[in-house]
Structure 1
Amino acid sequence: MNTQHTFKAVKKASRELISLSADTINSVLRELAELAIIRTEIILTENKKDLDRMDKNDPKFDRLLLTKERIEGISQDILNISNLTSSVGEILSKKKLENGLEISKVRVPMGVIGIIYEARPNVSFDVFSLCFKTQNACILKGSSDAEFSNTAIIGLIKEVLEKHNLNTNIVTLLPTDRQATADMLEATDYVDLIIPRGSQGLINFVRDNAKVPVIETGAGIVHTYFDVSGDIEKGKNIVVNAKTRRVSVCNALDCLLIHKDRLKDLPIITNALIEKETEIYADKEAYAVIKNTYPKNLLSIADESHFGAEFLSNKISIKTVKSFDEAISHIAHYSSKHSEAIVAEDETVIENYLNNVDAAAVYANSSTAFTDGSQFGLGAEIGISTQKLHARGPMALEEITTYKWIIRGNGQIRS
């Protein structure tokens, strides 16, 4: 593939998107949602080809896996996006100057968005749907792990676009080789923004090598702090859900911080993890409390490497803290600024936590599993930003737009 020729074609196609009506956009999305259900077996057959090449113990396996239920969920997300109001064209501010100039600040598409992602075929659907809704073209660079799945999904999307006589270059899947990645990172004339989704290694590589602007969707090193005032039933349920609902996702819990005065309650929390066969790395204080109640084959004493680790698997570390301030300091040192939670009943402690913890999403008495565009009512997400410029947290329709100034005059000139 001649990537420069491809990039030019996508850039040209992006300009055609500006004139599309909301009715056409929503019609395409609704048909895509329906076709995804109709073609479920075809998608699953291609997905199995990818799955057969991956070790089931690889943390990426669950991310790669598509099921009938997951495709139904993807289809519903596409429908949800079709029912949302696009932010494109929104007038953010408007004023008239003394000289008569009328100045408006108006939301517009980014243009061409590049996504580099690993073993997540659902991203192909999500990215296209959000980009198309906001009249952005998209270039997708998936990994070889999901090559068959992504090819089938993009083929499905192009089929719907062709039916509506639309330029199919508005969504393009690049080859899985490294050269395609390198070419996109340097395509400053054609790509307006790149969003990497995957391991910290991938994100670091993109950030360090891209000439195109990048929004980091960083690793999720996630903590939950169980305060001295925490409710044990809430805490148990929150920890189990945040850790085990889906262990391979970025909002999954990695480290439980527990106040030393609540160590006696730790067996109640950890016993709920036994049936999930969660592997625990506990500091010496926590280990001493649960060593007689937790299976020995699933329990180890933690070392420094277990704190600040994004496990992406059925593993968790436990750290005992002597105070609220120590919990805050631990999070400040190890957090990736993705999602952080507290279990507490003391309102003053809760407010201090919410105000002092620096993360894209900060929870009080809730599972971090909710850090998700769909769960936030955004339809879906194109990624979860852990940076502070332009966007932070789940990125959906608004976050993949920018704005421009529109000035209307009647012959004014500047002296």
Structure 2
Amino acid sequence: MNELLLKAMQLKQAAKSLAVLSTSEKNEALAIIAEALVAKKQWILAENKKDMSIGQANGMSPALLDRLQLTEERIKQMVTGIQQVIALPDPVGETIEEQTRPNGLQIKHIRVPLGVIGMVYEARPNVTVDATTLCLKTGNAVLLRGSSSAIYSNQALVSIMQEALKHSPIPPEAVQLLEDTSRETARSMFRLKEYLDVLIPRGGAGLIQSVVENATVPVLETGVGNCHIFIDQSAKKQMTMDIVLNAKLQRPSVCNAAETVLIHKDWPYVGELIETLHHQAVELRGDAVLASAYPFIQPATEADWRTEFLAPILAVKLVEDVEDAIRHISQYGTKHSEAIISECDAHVQRFFESVDAAVLYHNASTRFTDGEQFGYGAEIGISTQKLHARGPMGLRAITTTKTLVYGAGQVRE
């Protein structure tokens, strides 16, 4: 029996016992995991250094290396995320709706676990902990399939969590890492309908497309972030500067970083913003007008308007008005996060009504599209689709429903 099938069978069995555990039992297990991660911090960092060294030797991009790297601060953030999830209400068993029919039948809709969740993700070891935490809190078992570039980090994290679970009410088999990272095994995982209830891909466009196109297991699709900021004519100067710099530079390698800034042609501070970005070492790619006006701006190609750079690179364009900005976002956006900076209520309302995205911002950075920032403790991904869940996905997003019907002998005529 191969690794994938063996672990899938163990997960399906573990999910049955996990689904009936109380909130206090699940929280107890999460607290034990958090303590174990702190205790084993130095080993985690040592294993992560192995992945980093291999990545550097293989020419991994700075953006991917940033996602791969673990530091003491990032481990602390993982632990804080677990503590926040512990403090959140448990959605399992929550009554969504109830009614009594004319014939006396009492109908109640409640939240229940999905079952076994398959996580497919790239070089982000923090996802290993975030996904496990959210899955266990909601009574779901989880099969983790990370990338080969993070294999040492992921093996260490899962080993620590499984060992911790031996001292908790949750069976250690409820968390499994697929250590065979070959494409052939991945495709087999995507078709494991007998054991997996849902797949959640988290990573670049290529990974997500591969899962969606090859899976027979239902996919809860996340998306890439080609995020835009529209600067309206009425936008305040300092607020705009602060938001744009934060959205682009606070952490350029993540999906909620801004990739394109659309500027109203009559905004008075275009030059100052462009010069500020240039002095901050942002590589600018602009439309014909901006490229001709500033020698350091490269002419933007069609591909630049569509690209999630994940780096200190920004596409910039002058637009006629809010309608022109909406048209551009409609054509090139990925339905992730879009922002408008404006003091005109009518323009903000028009932007909010017309732009199709999971999260829309007024006078705020796109960097807030994040499970922790939204009060979810952590996130299992950011959904850009429209079925079941959209935006940062926390606990409720990885539950489904069950309908309970209470009768007193009724039969249908």
AA aligned opposite 1:94: E
Answering whether residue 215 of structure 2 is matched by residue 214 of structure 1, we say: no
Paired position in structure 2 for 1:305: 303
In the aligned structure 2, how far is the partner of 1:350 from the partner of 1:20? 46
Answering whether residue 126 of structure 2 is matched by residue 119 of structure 1, we say: no
For 1:228-251, what per-residue CA distance to the aligned partner results, in whole angstroms no more than 9, with x for missing partners? Answer: 111111111111000011111000
Query: Please, which of 125, 135, 141 is the counterpart of residue 139 of structure 2?
Result: 135
Question: Contact 2:120–2:200 at 8 Å: present in 1 too?
Answer: yes
Shift in Å, 1:32:
1.6
In the aligned structure 2, how far is the partner of 1:114 from the partner of 1:388? 20
AA aligned opposite 1:302: A
Answering whether residue 318 of structure 2 is matched by residue 320 of structure 1, we say: yes
For 1:74-131, what per-residue CA distance to the aligned partner results, in whole angstroms no more than 9, with x for missing partners? Answer: 1100000001111110111111112221110111100111010000100000001000
Question: Contact 1:43–1:152 at 8 Å: present in 2 too?
Answer: yes
Shift in Å, 1:176:
1.4
Question: Contact 1:267–1:290 at 8 Å: present in 2 too?
Answer: no
Answering whether residue 85 of structure 2 is matched by residue 87 of structure 1, we say: no
Shift in Å, 1:221:
0.5
Paired position in structure 2 for 1:339: 337
For 1:44-89, what per-residue CA distance to the aligned partner results, in whole angstroms no more than 9, with x for missing partners? Answer: 1111100111136342111101111111111100000001111110
Higher mean Cα deviation, 15-24 or 74-83? 15-24
Paired position in structure 1 for 2:254: 249
Shift in Å, 1:38:
2.1
Q: After the TM superposition, which residues 127-206 of structure 1 pair with which residues of structure 2 at under 5 Å, given as runs?
A: 127-164=131-168, 166-174=170-178, 175-206=180-211
Question: Contact 2:33–2:165 at 8 Å: present in 1 too?
Answer: no
Paired position in structure 2 for 1:383: 381
Shift in Å, 1:259:
1.0
Paired position in structure 1 for 2:20: 19
In the aligned structure 1, how far is the partner of 2:203 from the partner of 2:90? 27
Question: Contact 1:113–1:194 at 8 Å: present in 2 too?
Answer: yes
Q: What SS is found at the alignment partner of 2:269?
A: helix
Shift in Å, 1:410:
1.8
Question: Contact 1:267–1:289 at 8 Å: present in 2 too?
Answer: no
Paired position in structure 1 for 2:350: 352
In the aligned structure 2, how far is the partner of 1:397 from the partner of 1:81? 8
4+ residue runs of structure 1 moved beyond 6 angstroms?
none
Shift in Å, 1:37:
1.9
In the aligned structure 2, how far is the partner of 1:274 from the partner of 1:358? 31
Tell me: CA distance 1:183–1:57, structure 2 relative to 1, closer, same or farther (3 Å). closer
**What TM-score do you get using the length of structure 1 for normalisation?**
0.96
For 1:196-239, what per-residue CA distance to the aligned partner results, in whole angstroms no more than 9, with x for missing partners? Answer: 00110110110011001101111101100011111111111111
Shift in Å, 1:282:
1.3
Paired position in structure 2 for 1:405: 403
- Residues paired across the two proteins, number: 408
**What TM-score do you get using the length of structure 2 for normalisation?**
0.96
Higher mean Cα deviation, 105-114 or 273-282? 273-282
Shift in Å, 1:274:
3.6
Q: What SS is found at the alignment partner of 1:307?
A: helix
Shift in Å, 1:275:
4.6
Shift in Å, 1:323:
1.8
User: RMSD between aligned alpha carbons?
Assistant: 1.3
In the aligned structure 2, how far is the partner of 1:21 from the partner of 1:91? 16
For 1:129-188, what per-residue CA distance to the aligned partner results, in whole angstroms no more than 9, with x for missing partners? Answer: 000000000001000010000000001110110112632111110021222211211111
Shift in Å, 1:190:
0.9
Stretches of structure 2 lacking an aligned partner (at least 5 in a row): none
Stretches of structure 1 lacking an aligned partner (at least 5 in a row): none
Shift in Å, 1:314:
1.2
Q: What SS is found at the alignment partner of 2:244?
A: helix
Tell me: CA distance 1:108–1:166, structure 2 relative to 1, closer, same or farther (3 Å). closer
Paired position in structure 1 for 2:73: 69
In the aligned structure 1, how far is the partner of 2:257 from the partner of 2:202? 16
AA aligned opposite 1:267: G
